[in-house]
Amino acid sequence: MSRRKGPGRKGFTLVELLVVIGIIAILIGILLPTLGRARESARTLACASNARQIALAIRLFSQEHRGYMPALSDKQWAYQNDTQRSIWVYRSTPGQPPVLLDWASSLLPYLGIKTVEWFPQAPERGSKVFLCPSDPAQDYPGTYGNAGPVGPGLVIYNNMNPFDAGWPISFGVNADIGTQIDRTSNQGRFGLSDNVSVAFGPAGGGGTKLPLNGKFDRVRNAAEVLLVGDCGVRYNGAPAATPLDRQDAVYFTTNYMENNSGLPRADLGRLSGLIKTPWLSGRVPWMRHRNKINVAFCDGHGETILRNTDESKVRISPYMPN
């Protein structure tokens, strides 16, 4: 025998349905910002982990390469300082002279990647180490490796082809440590011809102050000196004339910071001075993590730096004030 619905049994009324839908909409409105913040927190943690891994790889590289970190300058200056090709890492091509690897590719073996020599060709697990999940420069349409850059990525500049192309990298290294010295002019050199002057460095030619020439083991007070950090912002205008000062180039430096006459001495050589120096400040990507950046220091520890609060405790120059 089949059962019949009693005459008093009814479905939901329209008003009841609207109330339920309204409650669901309110809950979604409450939960979405929370989920968004949780997602961003996860990206920030992943970014911080990547920065520390790169810093650790540089430390391991240094231990196996006579105290030097990977070369950051154009190959011309690295060759001049490494005539026996025994300090830095070179790509071997049969029948051709050795080619200096860029700094990121030089670190691949220390990140557990031994199947390729060039970091854009690394397997996904390895290539993601060089990327911040919140870096908008990696989301441009197109392909990596185009000059300009046209397409996604940021600029390593030296020992890449094309030199001004965008590549899958979101972190900058400390050029005050890793830039090489031209032994003829006794000046720090980054690109083929531009010179470099580092805050508190020893006197060099032409009134400049010298970088550390890659000698990572000579950094003073390593726990205070930035080694790797979120770096690089795509241009809003024309590129800087000096390659090291390009805002889309992945390097931290105090290059000619001492020429900033309005800079308080307490900020000289520090991240706080970098963001107050017009030709250097544009590269710091505060937008990635809601006014924060992740950095790893020369001793290997990492920190998340809050804008307008923490910059003065981060040194860029590997030299102590005079």
| pLDDT surpasses 80 at 251 | yes
- Give the DSSP per-residue string, 152-186: S-BB--TT-SSTTB-BS--EEEEHHHH-EEETTTT
Confidence of residue 295 (pLDDT cuts 50, 70, 90): very high
Q: Are 230 and 171 in contact (CB under 8 A)?
A: yes
Percentage of the chain modeled with pLDDT above 90: 74
Residue 165 to residue 150: CA distance in whole angstroms: 7
DSSP state of 102: P
Mean pLDDT of 234-259: 89
Query: What's the pTM value of the predicted model, to 2 decimals?
Result: 0.87
Q: Is the pLDDT of residue 76 over 70?
A: yes
pLDDT at 224: 96
Asked whether residue 178 carries a pLDDT value surpassing 70, the answer given is yes
Residues 15-59: pLDDT tens digits?
A: 777 778 888 888 877 776 666 666 788 889 999 999 999 999 999
Mean pLDDT of 203-212: 97
**Mean pLDDT, residues 124-136:** 88
Give yes or no for residue 161 having a pLDDT over 80.
yes
Q: For residues 134-152, give the mean pLDDT.
A: 94
Assess whether pLDDT exceeds 90 at residue 12.
no
- Domain residue extents for the chain: 17-313
